Structure 1
């Protein structure tokens, strides 16, 4: 009997295994770890009829017990697409797909909005979900954050009478790479800057993955203010282009823009003020336009969109304003896992700032981030595995402010608050410019820990 092999006992792997089993497939899940925590999860899955094998590495030999009967191998986004074992399996004719592909086949009858980009995609996903839901549509969000796509498919299959009108899905390059047949009804591309190059090898390869998603979308929506997307524009036929810079970004007409009076408009005239969205920063004006274009394509009126924008509470861990500590306004931007995202956050700071950065460093162009540190930061507190590397980088840029290094956030937060008080900084910003995996399972856990620490210090200062 044919069997599907799922690799990895993380959120995506568990969701994929459960979804496949619910569809009647014979499923085995392999996981290289064998901790007590994994043992507890494995026991629960075995009770659902899923074969789980712990302590099994991702090696070709691990698949030999199922030789000749493997229907396909399903991987989580964290496993490199070009892993030698996966390459060997494909060479033997075994199909290898990602968890997102499994979910797509289960959910493809529902129209998708697929949102991708180096930065901005999480904000756009949350904002579009909120605007659609506030207009009365059932449009759950998931994918690269929150509920995994496979988990969403399970939830929907358990309540078919509540089938969504739309699915708002954030899609990372890792997920798109392993699910080449996803074809959204609407595709949005927010930005493109160098990221994940250690995984994809080159900017060209990274760009091609995201481009494939937009090429397969019935309607493609682009941010015309992004330099890389602007350079690509002449190679695209059709699509909608939005610009916070005006009606003719870089001499090419926009389909939706913000005019000199701050009004969102298209060729038919003004619709509403861009101030309907209260989130700071020029990048959020671009996000507003992306969401407006998608919501109009779905059928919402200008008034419905404006109402949704005005009631948007913001995105957790993305320039999330926390309670002030004394006179210092605190922002949690744990979602900024690369230099470009951290640069955007610094640009949005209204005044002199103490910055907390660090974690697992990534490849990328740090020049814009370093320039914003010079412009906005009076002190930088570095923490985690990348602290010394970042200190060397910042020092080499001749940064004139204070530089501190420490082991973790527990030590970084009081250092930063003391520096803010001593230097008269108006803001304190956690914007790591690094991945979280040196000390946390994800950026959400890092941001939650930061919020706990800030709240403790706020209570002590009260």
Structure 2
């Protein structure tokens, strides 16, 4: 939607987080005479010069506006939206309609999605492109809100959640899908809708990069085919063989050759290097740059050895698949695993089957879905050492009571943090503070 189409309309920004505030600032800059309304809880209000509406959101409230600019975290499948006659758009839609071609030269937009690995892949791509001499920025779900970015960059790397992909407003030059698992079922309603919403990013792009080894991505390609695409994790390009990143028949990097842990990160790197190749850039400086990249906070982040126990913060892990990937970086039989958090209804059967024959030394479940995880794991293996505790703080204390020198204490919850924390960052920070209490 063009900014000129908003001039005579009653506009509401729904949601006042980072993107909501950036959207308000953007509209105030470009349409200073426009009266803006913000729909949010009372405690989020500030003195930004807009009119706040703190009423519970219903279709009637939404119908009081011609256009509602909805924040990504608000599901369009809820009753209030479905029953409303207002026009709903996203900040991404505003940016692509008004900013992409504002300058003399439009930036290349590379949008990266996937159930896990998005932030790390965006980070690695950013460092790789910088090493190739490009002016680039990370935007979207990780980094700067897209609506706050101008079009002066050579490349905009857009981390794209399923929420942001849902409306099809993102028109990327190159869209990357790393993998597809079950996630955000409370927002998307079911698995099928989640996959369809995620896949919309690729159908709206000029070209796609698809994981040849991801089963669900290949199923989606059969069901809703993308015409212009290139594969990674395929012998024709970048792929992983025996824990080594390959390009065709040439070995490039092993898991021991850089600072990131886990073979799954080599798969992420295969996608990143595929993008570098598609953009026509020199692979060598890009690869040399990513070798030096330390892990991002809360993503298999080592907190050192405390009381002889290796402590790892993987608070970002919000799916069982992410937890399984984390477990591959530790000796499972010497790992005390902390699971649980906000319950999105994700099925833990897959994870339970994975660890049935070889399980961690101890599993401590906590949080809103902790008891459900416990029951699922015990159904598969009733001799597995798994226990429920009420809070993560209790899990940390219990974990140190059973861990011995040389063991690993791994926070990889497999669930979001919203039952007890503001976000995964706060959960990871609090975890780091709690474990410090056990220093000797």
TM-score after normalising by structure 1: 0.84
- Pick which of 257-266 and 286-295 moved more: 257-266
Q: Do the aligned partners of 1:30 and 1:56 also contact (CA within 8 Å) in 2?
A: no
Secondary structure of the structure 2 residue equivalent to 1:188: strand
Which residue of structure 1 lines up, in the alignment, with residue 344 of structure 2? Answer: 362
Q: Does residue 187 of the first structure (1) align with residue 175 of the second (2)?
A: yes
Is the 2:349–2:376 contact (alpha carbons within 8 Å) kept by the matching residues of 1? no
Comparing 232-241 and 323-332, the one that deviates more:
232-241
Distance in 1 (CA, whole Å) between partners of 2:228 and 2:254 is: 25
Instruction: Compute the displacement of 1:196 (Å).
Output: 2.0
Does structure 2 conserve the Cα–Cα contact (< 8 Å) formed by 1:16 and 1:102?
Answer: no
How far apart are the structure 2 equivalents of 1:317 and 1:331?
Answer: 9
Quote the residue 2:238 is aligned against: 256
Change (3 A) 1:63 1:95: closer
Tell me the equivalent position of 1:336: 317
Q: Sort the Cα spacing of 1:309 and 1:376 in 2 relative to 1 into closer, same or farther, 3 A.
A: farther
For the aligned residue pairs, the C-alpha RMSD in angstroms reads: 2.4
Matched, 1:21 2:28: yes
Matches within 5 A, 1:84-99: 84-89=79-84, 92=85, 94-99=86-91
Could you say which residue in structure 1 is the equivalent of 2:42?
34
SS of equivalent to 1:212: helix
Structure 1 equivalent of residue 155 of structure 2 = 166
- Separation (CA, whole Å) in 1 of partners of 2:83 and 2:243: 58
Match of 1:11 in 2: 18
Structure 1 residues without counterparts, runs of 5 or longer: 248-253
Task: List per-residue Cα deviations over 1:126-175 (Å, max 9, x = no partner).
Answer: 2111222233322111211233222x32xx4xxx7xx2211111111111
CA change 1:132–1:80 in 2 (3 A) is same
| Equivalent residues, number | 422
In the alignment, is residue 313 of structure 1 matched against residue 294 of structure 2? yes
SS of equivalent to 2:219? helix
Could you tell me which residue of structure 1 aligns to residue 229 of structure 2? 239
2:371 match: secondary structure: helix
Give the match's secondary structure for 1:21. Answer: helix
* Counterpart Cα distance in 2 of 1:261 and 1:387: 33
SS of corresponding position for 1:377? coil
Distance 1:195 1:219 in 2: 25
Any idea what SS the aligned residue of 2:158 has? strand
Structure-1 separation of matches of 2:340 and 2:63: 42
Shift of 1:373: 4.0
| 1:250-279 CA-partner distances (Å, limit 9, x unpaired) | xxxx4333456935213xx53733444442
User: Partner residue of 2:72?
Assistant: 77
* Stretch of structure 1 that moved more, 274-283 or 14-23: 274-283
TM-score normalized with structure 2 length? 0.88
Match of 1:382 among 359, 365, 377: 365
Equivalent in the alignment of 1:133: 130
Q: Secondary structure at the match of 1:81?
A: coil
Q: Which has the higher helix share?
A: 1
* Alpha-carbon distance in structure 1 between the residues aligned to 2:62 and 2:243: 63
The 2-side partners of 1:104 and 1:299 are apart by: 24
Q: Find the aligned partners of 2:408 and 2:288 in 1 and give their Cα distance.
A: 30
Task: Please state how far the C-alpha of 1:325 moved relative to its aligned partner.
Answer: 1.0
The structure 1 residue matched to 2:304, chosen from 323, 331, 334, is: 323
In the alignment, does 2:273 pair up with 1:273? no
Could you say which residue in structure 2 is the equivalent of 1:53?
52
Relative to 1, partners in 2 of residues 1:452 and 1:315: Cα closer, same or farther, differing over 3 Å? same
CA contact (8 A) 2:202 2:226 kept: no
Aligned partners of 1:335 and 1:443 also within 8 Å = yes
Relative distance call for 1:347 and 1:371 in structure 2 (3 A) is farther
Alpha carbons of 1:387 and 1:322: their partners in 2 closer, same or farther (altered >3 Å)? same
Give the Å deviation of 1:288: 1.0
Q: How far off is 1:191 after superposition? A: 0.5
Indicate if the aligned counterparts of 1:436 and 1:443 stay in contact, CA closer than 8 A. Answer: yes
Post-superposition Cα deviations, 1:73-104, rounded to whole Å, max 9, x if no partner, equal: 11112211122232233xx3x32012332333
Mapped pair 1:434 → 2:419? no
Structure 2 unaligned runs (5+)?
Answer: 1-7, 101-105
CA distance in 2, matches of 1:172, 1:104: 17
Whether the 8 Å CA contact 2:326–2:412 is kept in 1: the answer is yes
Map 1:413-424; keep pairs closer than 5 Å: 413-421=396-404
Deviations 1:191-245 (A, max 9, x none): 01122223223322222222221122222111111111233455443411111xx
**Contact (CA 8 Å) 1:353, 1:425: kept in 2 or not?**
no
- For 2:216 and 2:430, how far apart are their aligned partners in 1? 35
Give the Å deviation of 1:407.
2.9
CA distance in 2, matches of 1:438, 1:445: 12
